[in-house]
Structure 1
Amino acid sequence: MIVSLPDKQKLLPAVPKLIAKPLVYMPFALQKKLLSRLLQQIFSEALADGDCEFLQGSWLKVAITDLNISWLFGCNEKNEILINKNGLADVTIEGNLNSFILLAARKEDPDTLFFQRQLTIGGDTELGLQVKNLLDNIELDVLPPIINLSIRCGAEYISLFSKSESEYQ
């Protein structure tokens, strides 16, 4: 039996999604624990300064559309980040994995991603703008080194190998 390998032109852009796919199958309790630790670290200064108070009583939904995964984030009176799997969101930000990686690594401006419809926002856009402004003030250096390196390398990879289907034909 002859097995043909996938065309590298189609495989290379899919690598970040393939690497992240196990996240979809991870039990929510584990996702929540990992995200909670990471977000508490990333936003520790903002939480201490009260910069996340606007999220108290509100929910932000982040959906990675190509992985079919989403989370709801909020903040309580004790300045702790809350994470839920299901519920009603006040604002929703959706996009594919590559867009979120480029955004996290600051390789793409959020406004550019929104105008290009690679990220979409729905619901309370004022709340979404507050979230965007909060994220703009976060420095990548507060991330654990392995996460920081992964995001930066992922963004470089995406920048090098992600092209639209029409560019390959």
Structure 2
Amino acid sequence: MPALPALPRPPLPSHLLPGSLRQRIGERLATLRIPDFTVPAPVAKLVSRLPQQPPTHVLTLALNLALDRILPRDTLEPLSGRHLQMRVLDAGLTLDFTLGERGFRRATPAAGARPDLILSATTRDFMALALREEDPDTLFFSRRLRMEGDTDLGLLVKNTLDAVDWDALKAKLLGRHG
């Protein structure tokens, strides 16, 4: 049976747009800010009653995509085997995860066991942190990002986020090279 021909690699979404439109969208994205918002309480109440595994899976998938690309595994070694928890306060989410040999995965907390590190913020603040609209120090000192537990792990997470070259990553995603 003959081998099937290789399929052409699809272009990045940014390459599908004409140059001037791509540039205008890039400029708008550069100045776009996340508005202040809070997830409505009835939605948070409902979400808090739903299984937390699906959103935890999405979080660990995103972290694993970043692992070794923008998050250096050797720097994150102290997180290995540690129980980490992310609380999205206004959305009613509690995401338990850990870093193992094969990357990030959902953690199953032992009854009564406290996570090694708990990061708490609102949906908006986590989004602003991820998009670099806010830095961890600003959120922390304004009490919008809370870290509980092992302060050395919290400092490691903060320093790792600060060390990522977000501008290079953004340029790559927008199709601007060099």
Same fold, judged at TM 0.5 (above): yes
Report deviation, 1:89: 0.7
Distance in 1, Cα, partners of 2:80 & 2:105: 10
Distance in 2, Cα, partners of 1:49 & 1:57: 13
Counterpart mapping for 1:2-151 below 5 A: 13-14=36-37, 17=39, 27-45=51-69, 49-76=73-100, 78-84=101-107, 86-87=109-110, 88-140=114-166, 141=169
Which residue type is aligned with residue 83 of structure 1?
A: R
Per-residue deviation, residues 102-123 of structure 1 (Å, max 9, x unmatched): 1111111111111111111111
Distance in 1, Cα, partners of 2:134 & 2:107: 28
Q: Output the TM-score relative to the length of structure 1.
A: 0.62
Distance in 2, Cα, partners of 1:47 & 1:79: 14
Per-residue deviation, residues 127-148 of structure 1 (Å, max 9, x unmatched): 1000111222334438x96xx9
Q: Quote the residue 2:19 is aligned against.
A: none
Q: Specify every segment of 5 or more residues in structure 1 that has no aligned partner in the other structure, as ranges.
A: 1-11, 149-169
Does the CA contact (< 8 Å) of 1:92 and 1:122 recur in 2?
A: yes
- The 3 A distance-change label for structure 1 pair 121 and 28 is closer
Does the CA contact (< 8 Å) of 1:60 and 1:89 recur in 2?
A: yes
Per-residue deviation, residues 24-51 of structure 1 (Å, max 9, x unmatched): 6764443343333221111233666422
Distance in 1, Cα, partners of 2:71 & 2:140: 26
CA RMSD of the aligned region, Å? 3.1
Q: Output the TM-score relative to the length of structure 2.
A: 0.60
Does the CA contact (< 8 Å) of 2:116 and 2:149 recur in 1?
A: yes
Per-residue deviation, residues 55-78 of structure 1 (Å, max 9, x unmatched): 1121221101111111122111x2
User: Matched residues, percent identical?
Assistant: 27
| Higher gyration radius (CA) | 2
Q: Specify every segment of 5 or more residues in structure 2 that has no aligned partner in the other structure, as ranges.
A: 1-34
> Which structure has more helix as a fraction of its residues?
1
Does the CA contact (< 8 Å) of 1:52 and 1:79 recur in 2?
A: no
Which residue type is aligned with residue 99 of structure 1?
A: D
Report deviation, 1:92: 0.8
Distance in 1, Cα, partners of 2:69 & 2:133: 23
- The 3 A distance-change label for structure 1 pair 62 and 47 is same
